[in-house]
């Protein structure tokens, strides 16, 4: 794991070579940052610490254009937007770069982070953290364009027992999606992978027949990959029985104090309605892809 951040003390920014040493030094630095934040607040530095009481830790799991990592710095739709929210709220963010499964674990299991963004809402996660809804995404059945007889509803998909899925480990697109995945697992019809580029490779090789994702995710991941993506290469089919997914941020009730929870959630909800998030999507995606996938909350 390595860390992408802005205005982090030099010692915290040099711990990138050995995974175990990195983890130890990062969390030691995290504690130091909390102490430093309180000290700065005590000195009256209102320009940076006016609202949040300390640096907010948000793991950055590379996810196509939604979360990119360039030269150890997290960019993309959500980091860009969150920085804008932070400027208005008086909050500062630190982005340790980790795989997606690790990002989930840091918030929901080990309490090593403050926020998971982006994340889709489901009942299990709601029991562990506070959800802030910012956008709706459309999980679609994605196949090669020339795939025959593509199912158009969940029941038909389940009945096509020869069709095999490739899914990203730990992704969730709501309760209906989670139920569908459990049914596919019970039939031994799922290959779980760690990243979106592998999804594209399995589909192209014929080792998987479909995946279920918002189109923006697969589009961006394959655009960033060396192989790219060809116009018309994939077919995107909305599945009846699989509604739009509520996407936003989960905030830790374990690591954030009530005041920081209130500040972050209020400013994120406000920013989700002012057009800034859609503008961030349109910075990275063609408008027709955004229109097919994104709706306001």
- Residue-wise pLDDT for 36-63, tens only, equals 443 333 333 233 344 899 999 999 998 8
Exposed / middle / buried, residue 269 (Cβ in 10 Å: 0-12, 13-18, 19+): middle
Residues 126 and 151 placed together within one structural domain of the fold: no
* Same domain membership, residue 258 and residue 122: yes
Q: How far apart are CA 262 and CA 85, in angstroms?
A: 14
The CATH number for 178's domain is 3.40.190.10
**In terms of C-beta density within 10 A (0-12 exposed, 13-18 middle, 19 or more buried), how is residue 48 classed?**
middle
If you average pLDDT over every residue of the chain, what do you get? 83
pLDDT one-digit tens code per residue, 12-41:
333 333 333 444 444 445 444 443 443 333
Instruction: Tell me which of 205, 238, 271 is where a domain ends.
Output: 238
Tell me 111's DSSP state. Answer: -
Q: Which residues contact residue 126 at a Cβ distance below 8 angstroms, ignoring those fewer than 6 apart?
A: none
- Digit-coded pLDDT (tens) for 131-175: 999 999 888 999 999 999 999 999 999 999 999 999 998 888 888
**According to the model, what pLDDT value does residue 227 have?**
66
Structure tokens at 31: 């504690």
The four Cα atoms 262, 258, 109, 54 give a dihedral, to 10 degrees, of 80
Range of the domain at 227: 139-238
* Same structural domain, 208 and 251: no
Q: Based on the structure, what is the number of domains in the chain?
A: 2
Confidence of residue 219 (pLDDT cuts 50, 70, 90): confident
CA distances from 256 to 58, 64, 265 (A): 12, 28, 12
Q: Does residue 91 sit in the same domain as residue 36?
A: yes
Report which secondary-structure segment, H or E, holds 157: helix 154-159
Inter-residue contact 244 to 140 (CB < 8 Å):
no
Q: How high is the pLDDT of residue 223? A: 85
Indicate if 269 and 130 belong to the same structural domain.
yes
- Smallest CA-to-CA distance from 73 within 90, 88, 48, 93 is with 93
Contact call for residues 122 and 250 (beta carbons, < 8 A): no
At 101, is the pLDDT very low, low, confident or very high (cuts 50, 70, 90)? confident
Distance of alpha carbon 104 from alpha carbon 282, whole angstroms = 26
> What pLDDT was estimated at residue 55?
97
Q: Do residue 147 and residue 231 come from a single domain?
A: yes
Question: Both 148 and 191 in a single domain?
Answer: yes
79 and 147 fall within a common domain: no
Residues 32 and 81 in one domain: yes
Average pLDDT over every residue of 209-232: 83
Cα end-to-end span (Å), the chain: 33
Is 74 in the same domain as 198?
no
> Would you say 90 and 48 are in contact if contact means Cβ atoms under 8 Å apart?
yes
Instruction: Say whether pLDDT at 108 is over 70.
Output: yes
**CA–CA gap between residue 198 and residue 48 (Å, rounded):** 40
Partnered with residue 296 across adjacent β-strands are 135
Among 193, 222, 238, the domain-final residue is 238
Residues of the chain above pLDDT 70, percent: 82
**H, E, C per residue of 204-256:** HHCCCCEEEECHHHHHHHHHHCCCCCCCCCEEEEECECCCCEEEEEEEECCCC
What's the confidence (pLDDT) of residue 290? 84
Confidence tier at 239 by pLDDT (50, 70, 90):
very high
pLDDT at 36: 41
Q: Which of 9-13, 85-89, 197-201 has the lowest mean pLDDT?
A: 9-13
pLDDT at 51: 85
Residues 254 and 130 in one domain: yes
Q: Dihedral of the CA atoms 287, 290, 294, 295 (nearest 10)?
A: 10
- Do residues 120 and 6 share a domain? yes
């Amino acid at each position: 794991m390595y860390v992408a951040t802005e205005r982090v003390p030099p010692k915290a920014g040099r711990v990138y070579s050995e995974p175990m040493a990195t983890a130890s030094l990062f969390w030691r630095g995290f504690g130091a940052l909390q102490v430093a934040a309180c000290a700065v607040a005590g000195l009256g530095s209102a320009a940076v610490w006016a609202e949040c009481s300390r640096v907010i830790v948000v793991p950055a799991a590379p996810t196509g254009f939604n979360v990119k990592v360039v030269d150890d710095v997290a960019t993309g739709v959500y980091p860009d937007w969150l920085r804008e929210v932070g400027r208005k709220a008086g909050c500062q963010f630190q982005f340790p770069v980790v795989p997606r499964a690790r990002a989930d674990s840091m918030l929901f299991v080990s309490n090593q982070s403050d926020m998971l963004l982006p994340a889709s809402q489901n009942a299990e996660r709601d029991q562990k953290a506070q959800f802030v809804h910012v956008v709706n995404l459309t999980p679609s059945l994605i196949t090669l364009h020339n795939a025959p007889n593509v199912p158009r509803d969940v029941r038909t998909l389940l009945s096509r027992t020869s069709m095999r899925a490739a899914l990203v480990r730990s992704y969730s697109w709501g309760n209906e999606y989670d139920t569908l995945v459990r049914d596919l697992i019970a039939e031994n019809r799922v290959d779980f992978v760690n990243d979106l580029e592998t999804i594209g490779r399995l589909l192209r090789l014929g080792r998987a027949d479909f995946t279920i994702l918002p189109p923006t995710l697969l589009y961006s991941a394959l655009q960033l990959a060396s192989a790219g993506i060809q116009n018309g290469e994939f077919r995107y089919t909305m599945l009846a029985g699989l509604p739009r997914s509520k996407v936003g941020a989960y905030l830790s009730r374990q690591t954030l104090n009530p005041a920081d929870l209130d500040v972050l959630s209020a400013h994120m909800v406000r920013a989700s309605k002012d057009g800034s998030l859609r503008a961030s999507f349109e910075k990275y995606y063609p408008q027709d892809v955004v229109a097919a996938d994104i709706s306001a909350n």
